[in-house]
A and B are shown apart, each in its own frame.
Chain A
Amino acid sequence: MELAAQLLVILIQIAAVMGVVLLHVAYLTYAERKVLSDMQDRLGPMEVGPHGLLQPIADGLKLFFKEDIIPAGANKIIFSASPILVLVPALIGFAVVPFGRDSLHIGDVEITPYITDINIGILYILAFSSLGAYGILLGGWASNSKYALLGGLRSAAQVISYELPLGLSLVGPILLSESLSMMTMTHAQAGGFWNWYVVKTTPIPFVIYMICAIAETNRLPFDLPEAESELVAGFFTEYSGMRFSFFFLAEYANMILVSCIGVVAFLGGWQAPFAFLEFIPPIVWFLAKVYFLLFFYIWLRATVPRLRFDQLMAFGWKIMLPLSLVMVLVISVAKYILTH
């Protein structure tokens, strides 16, 4: 009986988190269009609903009812499987993200502000986000199109080159909190913004993390796998309908996920910046920080041009990787000196 209740609670939690995440994904596309259009002196979506508020729903319905085309010569199984292979790792990472501080108690049942708090949370997310690259690579390969193939190859190269500095930039927070658990990491940053790891590890790892996260999620200025002016749409050139929307959902879900990790690892998760502001619920702080990072992504998209492929690789291997290695060394030495 107790097991059944626990199982039910977890299922509800998963459903709630997935629902909230997918809703955020839908409205992130709307927010992106609105913020971009505001920066670009235009209105953006205005037709569907007041101020175009129902636009994401209309877009979703449209994609849902679109004909699903599998190009001739495509590998059908891999072609159908790769959108799922991209979307699932993007969503699965949310399982370990702590959204708030306090658990909710209903009778004997405890509802935690996270689905699970495993002690290797960060490794778990990194492992799954690397899996997403397979979907992109296979989808590009299975499309039987040169544009898609080039997009897939670019993506594989990009993910490999930016995965390393991304992981290394997270070593700082891991060293300081002495834990891989997201919840422990958040607790370790309590007591004001000067305890956040963005300050404690110097902002350099945070900047490295942000840059790599943008590269991981294929956003401007690192959106080479899907550079529309060169490769039409990159690895999903041949996709249409729901399969296309899976890639699209995955991209935005990934944006939210990397923002969540960034917030937990560097910006104190749900912690308030000052002790006297703690009356504001932790979840509000968490969301505010995530929204800020998401806004930053969109802002960047409106501002900068796209890098070229060789420049992207050179930047990743010649600047980001050495810099993040040096930062790991510096933080380790500093921590040793300070604790002894």
Chain B
Amino acid sequence: MADLKEDAVGLDHYGNDDFEAGLAEGKPLKRVEDLLLNMGPQHPSTHGVLRIVLDLEGETIVKATPHLGYLHRGVEKLAENSTYTQIIPLTDRLDYTSSMTNNYAFVRTVEKLLQIEIPERAEYIRTLVAEMQRLAGHLFWLGTQALDIGAMTVFFYTFREREVLLDLFELLCGARLTMSYYRVGGVDRELTQEIIDRLYAFLETFPEKVTEYNTLLETNRIWIGRTRDVAIISAEDAVNFGLTGPPLRGSGVNYDVRKAEPYGVYDKVEWEVPLGKNCDTYDRYWIRIEEMRQSASIIKQCLDRLPKGPIISDLPQIAYPPRDKIQTDMESLIHHFMIATQGFKVPEGEVYCGTEAPKGELGFYILSQGGNRPYRMRIRPPSFIHMGAFDHMAKGYMIADIVTIFGTYDIVMGECDR
């Protein structure tokens, strides 16, 4: 740099307004380049296959450009060729850390289109299972965010509790990762007494476990140093970038789909929406921790009030008949065969329905032209929308903060790339 004259014409990544004019005047040419660092898609902490191209000045980020699409599987296109029942397992693969939330978001959209009523017991089961998924998702987030910042022990502690939840899911529907438990009109299987008992036992100790994670982090000076005032986004910017979920609430905006447009039994149980003040990573951490406590309380209330009754609507054209009837009842067998082979018909129309997933608002938009398949299905994944604000939130911070920002979004590439 020393040999370059001060009045030289600069050329950086963003171009320079008086570049042409300067050349015309015969000024010498200088070229300033930042260090270009490619992070991912193969990198230990990019949460799958995210790729970020960083423009660096020393270790400071000048520009961060996310490159997406490495995990694109064309879920939306596949959905156009699948019946509504067949789409449910496809949605499992979106946010695979809490797959049933995706099921929930999808079946709610279809139900909105069909305008059908859900039995009360099914609503309670759905809500409490969705909250169990939120716990599983947030435990996953806490472990990985802490691991990215270097606190490895928290990761093992949170996975210990997540394991208990996964065992319960296994009891509930036979799967641990891609669960496909929700059905249009209700849920697939009964919540048995064994699950209820084990869930009560889990909830008994869970608040203590959250406190245990917090003893390692909450007042840890290094943890505070790494998260406080990192990746700040103002409430206005957060709204403008379309952030939802904890990243939005971390900036103090009181928006939670569960409160704004209550579904399930969220309007029947008592709970609060934790809000942040400082708009930084620490606040978003605190919000998710608090949400775990709230979720545990919602699950407990749901279990306490669980009514008796059917778990799926009595709509033979749409909902699968109960398993035991298929073996004995001719009508049921026919209905089961028809739904399984041809699916059910959905009236013409278009609908958007947002659901509060652990990561933010997960929305499904379905355009139906009648028939048993959607004409077009569009997913609004929170992770994808959050990536739009990545550059804005990363600019001016350091390389080390990149992984903190991944973590604070709680990004899952399955959902982001669809």
- A-side residues, CB < 8 A to B, are 36, 39-42, 146-147, 150, 220-221, 223-224, 227-232, 301-311
Contact = CB atoms under 8 A, between A and B. Distances in A.
Contact of A227 (B35, B150, B217, B223): B150
Contacts of B45: 228-230
Given A228-B44, A308-B225, A150 B150 contact: no
B59 A150 contact: yes
A307 B402 contact: no
A40 B226 CA distance: 22
Contacts of A305: 146, 149-151, 217, 220, 222-223, 226
Contacts of A229: 44-45, 147-150, 403
B116 interface: no
Contacts of A150: 37, 59, 399
Contacts of A311: 222, 225-226
26 contacts: A40-B153, A40-B157, A41-B156, A41-B160, A146-B37, A221-B150, A227-B400, A229-B44, A229-B148, A229-B403, A230-B399, A230-B403, A231-B399, A232-B43, A302-B152, A303-B151, A304-B151, A304-B220, A305-B149, A305-B222, A305-B223, A306-B226, A306-B400, A308-B226, A309-B59, A309-B399
Contacts of A301: 152
B161 to A, nearest CB: 11
A130 B204 CA distance: 54
Scoring B216, B220, B225, B398 by chain A CB atoms within 10 A of each residue's CB, the highest score goes to B225
B399 A223 contact: no
Interface string B235-265: 0000000000000000000000000000000
A323 B311 CA distance: 68
B283 interface: no
A176 B217 CA distance: 40
A224 B216 CA distance: 20
Nearest to B45: A229
Contacts of B131: none
Nearest to B151: A305
Scoring B35, B150, B225, B402 by chain A CB atoms within 10 A of each residue's CB, the highest score goes to B150
A36 B403 CA distance: 23
B35 A146 contact: yes
A93 B414 CA distance: 51
Contacts of B401: 308
A308 B400 CA distance: 6
- Grouping DSSP codes into helix (H, G, I), strand (E, B) and loop, the A interface class, with mixed when no group exceeds half, is helix
A13 to B, nearest CB: 39
Nearest to B54: A146
Scoring A224, A227, A230, A307 by chain B CB atoms within 10 A of each residue's CB, the highest score goes to A230
A304 B160 contact: no
Interface in B73-112: none
Nearest to B216: A303
Interface in B383-401: 398-401
In the complex, the 9 A-B pairs of residues with the closest C-beta atoms, listed nearest first: A306-B150, A229-B45, A40-B156, A305-B151, A305-B150, A305-B149, A229-B148, A308-B400, A229-B403
Contacts of A232: 43-44
Interface string B126-154: 00000000000000000000111111110
A185 to B, nearest CB: 33
A224 B220 CA distance: 18
Scoring A42, A146, A224, A301 by chain B CB atoms within 10 A of each residue's CB, the highest score goes to A146
Scoring A146, A229, A306, A307 by chain B CB atoms within 10 A of each residue's CB, the highest score goes to A229
A305 B220 CA distance: 9
B220 A309 contact: no
B153 A220 contact: no
Nearest to B44: A228
B285 to A, nearest CB: 12
Nearest to B400: A308
A307 B147 CA distance: 13
Given A41-B160, A303-B216, A311-B225, A230 B153 contact: no
B407 to A, nearest CB: 9
Nearest to B146: A305
A243 B216 CA distance: 36
B160 A230 contact: no
B46 to A, nearest CB: 9
Interface in B184-202: none
Given A229-B45, A308-B225, A310-B398, A302 B59 contact: no
Contact of A308 (B35, B37, B44, B398): B398
B101 to A, nearest CB: 26
B146 A230 contact: no
A240 to B, nearest CB: 16
A165 to B, nearest CB: 18
Contacts of A231: 399
Nearest to A221: B222
B150 A223 contact: yes
Contact of B226 (A36, A39, A302, A307): A307
A153 to B, nearest CB: 9
Contacts of A224: 400
